[in-house]
Amino acid sequence: MEQKVILIIIGMSLVTYLPRMLPMVLLSKVKLPPLFLKWLQFIPVAVLSALLAPAILAPQDELSIGLDNNAFIASIPCFFVAIRTKNLFLTIVVGILAMFLLQNL
């Protein structure tokens, strides 16, 4: 293998690994405030919401919250199952079944 390719692979590995490792190393001895730790718990929910909202509310790049939007209709039972059970697997199964029923009935 060319030396250039090996250097590129090593560089890409460092760029991928360092941003993950440095905060753990630098903050491992620092006591973070409880409010900050509480705030960090909401990041996964915020990211998931940011990814799902456009796909559910605007599937064809236009706001659609009517009965013709299968993703929106399927998200309603998913929302209630997620709130009630807090079970990600069950929520996904309900979403898959809802989309299947909406597309095939």
Domain ranges of the chain: 1-30, 33-104
User: What is the tens place of the pLDDT at every residue in 27-64?
Assistant: 888 898 999 999 999 999 899 899 999 999 998 888 98
Helices (H), the chain: 3-27, 34-41, 43-57, 70-85, 88-104
pTM for the structure as a whole:
0.61
